[in-house]
Amino acid sequence: MKILLATYWYLPHVGGVYNYMTQLSRYLESQGHHVDIMAHHPDMQKIWMMSTGRFVEKAKVKDYVYEQVLGFYQTELPMVDPWIRWREIERYTYEISAALLGVNNYDLIHTHDIVSTRAIARVKPAHARHVATIHGVLASEHLLSGQITSRDSLPFAYAAAEEYFGFTSADRTIVPSRWVADQVVAGFGVPADHLDHVPYGLDADYLEIQSRKRTDPLPNQDIRSLTILCPARLVPVKGHQYLLEALPQIVAQHPVVVWLAGDGGYTEELKRLVAHEGLEHVVRFLGAREDVAALMRKADIVVLPSVQDALPFSIMEAQILGKPIVASRVGGIPEMIESGKTGILVAPGEAQELARALLQLIGSSGLRLKLGQQAALWAKEAWSLERMLSRTMAIYEHVLGKTVSEVQS
Amino acid sequence: MIQNLVHFVVGLWRRVCGSHKPRETKIAPELKIPLINAVNDEDRLNPGQLRYPLQDLFAFPLKESQINLDPAVWGDLRLSLPTAYSIPDSEFTRVLSVQTSLRVLRWSVGKIDSEVRSITLYRASWNPPYFPPAISRKANDLPPTRS
């Protein structure tokens, strides 16, 4: 069977979507399927087929799309603001690029975000079945990041439409957490019976191997200090600012080092905040890392102070590696952590509560060990890769109307 | 103003009911942007240097676009797209039409409301504030009857 995995995200990147697509791709290829992956190139200037290296330069398509979109909006809907026009142009550029790269020869297309789902649904041939996995809720992220200032605005109405069409344009839509399903059913009118809840899975053995590989060199004092790892993109929804606000209280009582593994548009702002708090000797910006699993093994505590998160892979990884976690009671995270048993949950955006929870763990190696061990026991069952793959294959078979082996033959 | 409002409400009704079709632009047959789909089969699989050692599945940088400029591409593209394909996506333009119309309507109602208020205030200021009390007549104030 020929399968296309597609996303609007850039690949490769450090993050859950990439992990998910990589695992799925490996499995499908091991079953004898032909798999292509289409995504933005990391420079965001190209849409590319990662498996072959073919790509379309967006600029060449964008000029044409720009003309069509602006022509329409200037005459028909002049009130529509540039943010909406920009998103329209990006989506049409993606769909025309996808058509240029070729989507006609696939039996099944599996998209991984709302933009690519809507785009592919418009350009794919009727015979190709379409499954989407939507990993989060972007409309509320826009509000949290300040890109959209009000729920009553036209941009939010547009973002809500993006969610609705993103969640409904494929034959079936997979969601990784109940929270995502609840949000889009209640908030955007997505029919509940169109969604399949399939939690992520993780290849524990592969993670174990990765975690034992050598990391890039780290400063000596980092190895000797108690380390707190925050493995997350540097974007506002990940809540790094609350961790930085909590740190002075912690540093006053214990010598710790904090590793921020990830990159993103919020880096400079966070660096300014670190300087403002006088935390340069405590906080290390490690950038986008390929050795997150190895860093995690070296760390004593993993923290994720998100203000919104669907089902973060970093928590799954930390649990499997037996690390104690402090995370926000937000999004799908309460589906992952039983506070006091498999980690500690704190209110989102509450630096004081975060500081208390971290101090509790820093002060007790016994508690760290206990929470880590209980999390590992739970995670190996909860984040079974086999279960995720078998349920995903069942959804493939459902949309194809036959078993995968019948399609292959 | 009333005429404009009526015109607007009729427009809104047509949009909501779908009688208003947004302009749908097909991919233009004239080739304004020359694209080439000449895929270099010989060279395209040069893997170059792996971007990340761990990600051996894919990820190799390529310097030049391999869907290059060729006028034939738009023709091929049109053939490969579903016949109903158009830019922009009519589902989104319908949502935006309704939402902008609702906002204009809300703004218009607010405007009318403020106009009515200002007229009322004007009239209130124009009318004398004092109204003489009605002449009340009690039973014993009846005009004298002829006896």
Q: Which CATH number fits domain A2-201+385-408: 3.40.640.10, 3.40.50.2000, 3.40.630.40, 2.120.10.30?
A: 3.40.50.2000
With beta carbons under 8 A apart, name residues in chain B contacting A75: 23
- Taking 80 as the threshold, does the pLDDT of residue B18 lie above it? no
Task: Name the range with the highest mean pLDDT among A71-75, A133-137, B14-18.
Answer: A133-137
Which ipTM score applies to this complex? Answer: 0.84
Q: Do B82 and A122 touch (CB under 8 A)?
A: yes
pLDDT (0 to 100) of residue A224? 64
pLDDT (0 to 100) of residue B140? 55
Q: How confident is the model at residue A53 (pLDDT cuts 50, 70, 90)?
A: confident
Nearest to A319 by CA among A202, A403, A149: A202
Mean pLDDT score of chain A: 91
Domain ranges of chain A: 2-201+385-408, 204-382
What strand order describes the sheet that includes A301-304? Answer: A283-287, A256-261, A226-231, A301-304, A325-328, A344-346
- For B1-147, strand residue ranges (E) read none
Tokens standing for residue A82: 């540039």
The contacts of residue A393 (CB under 8 Å, 6+ apart) are: A404
> In chain B, pLDDT over 70 holds for what percent of residues?
31
Lowest mean pLDDT among A49-53, A96-100, A245-249: A49-53
pLDDT (0 to 100) of residue A82? 87
- Taking 50 as the threshold, does the pLDDT of residue A186 lie above it? yes
Tokens standing for residue A378: 């739970």
The CA-atom distances, in angstroms, between B38 and each of A54, A98, B67, B69 are 11, 16, 6, 8
> Which is more confident, A292 or A335?
A335
pLDDT (0 to 100) of residue A262? 87
pLDDT (0 to 100) of residue B146? 54
Alpha helices in A191-334 (DSSP H): 204-211, 220-224, 240-251, 267-277, 292-298, 313-320
Lowest mean pLDDT among A26-30, A171-175, B49-53: B49-53
Q: What are the φ and ψ backbone dihedral angles of A78, each rounded to 5 degrees?
A: -65, -15
Residues β-bridged to residue A261: A231, A287
β pairing state of A108-111 and A2-10 = parallel
pLDDT (0 to 100) of residue A385? 94
- Taking 80 as the threshold, does the pLDDT of residue A407 lie above it? no
Over the stretch B41-71, which tens digit does the pLDDT of each residue have?
A: 333 333 333 333 333 333 344 444 545 545 5
Three-class secondary structure of residue A283 per DSSP: strand
Residue type, A5: L
Cut 0.90: pTM above it: no
Q: How many degrees, rounded to 5, is the angle at CA A202 between CA A196 and CA A208?
A: 175
- Taking 50 as the threshold, does the pLDDT of residue A200 lie above it? yes
The contacts of residue A141 (CB under 8 Å, 6+ apart) are: A237, A308
Domain ranges of chain B: 1-42+88-113
DSSP string, A191-208: -GGGEEE----B-HHHHH
> Which is more confident, A58 or A379?
A379
Over the stretch A225-283, which tens digit does the pLDDT of each residue have?
A: 899 999 998 988 999 999 999 999 999 999 999 999 988 888 999 999 999 999 999 99
Instruction: Determine contact: B146 vs chain A, CB below 8 A.
Output: no
CA A209, CA A293: separation in Å to the nearest integer?
A: 9
pLDDT (0 to 100) of residue B51? 33
Lowest mean pLDDT among A329-343, A367-381, B14-28, B123-137: B14-28
Q: Do domains A2-201+385-408 and A204-382 have the same CATH topology?
A: yes
> In chain B, pLDDT over 90 holds for what percent of residues?
8
Number of H helices, E strands in chain A: 17, 14
With beta carbons under 8 A apart, name residues in chain A contacting B23: 72, 75-76
DSSP state of A349: T
Over residues A138-167, the mean pLDDT reads 91
CA B142, CA B136: separation in Å to the nearest integer?
A: 11
Show which of residues 13-42 on chain B sit within 8 Å of chain A, judged by CB atoms: 22-23, 25, 32-33, 35, 37, 39
Lowest mean pLDDT among A74-78, A131-135, B78-82: B78-82
CA A230, CA A33: separation in Å to the nearest integer?
A: 36
Lowest mean pLDDT among A7-16, A166-175, A341-350: A7-16
Lowest mean pLDDT among A26-30, A122-126, A222-226, B113-117: A222-226
> Which is more confident, B120 or B28?
B120
Q: Do A84 and B96 touch (CB under 8 A)?
A: yes
With beta carbons under 8 A apart, name residues in chain B contacting A51: 57-58
pLDDT (0 to 100) of residue B69? 45
**A248, A277 contact by CB (below 8 A):** yes
Mean pLDDT score of chain B: 59
Burial of A148 (0-12, 13-18, 19+ CB in 10 A): buried
Over residues A167-189, the mean pLDDT reads 96
Q: Which CATH number fits domain A204-382: 3.40.50.2000, 3.40.50.300, 1.10.10.60, 3.30.710.10?
A: 3.40.50.2000
The CA-atom distances, in angstroms, between B24 and each of A1, A158, A189, B90, B115 are 35, 19, 27, 8, 39
CA A11, CA A18: separation in Å to the nearest integer?
A: 7
Kindly report the nearest CA distance between residue B87 and chain A, in angstroms.
Answer: 7
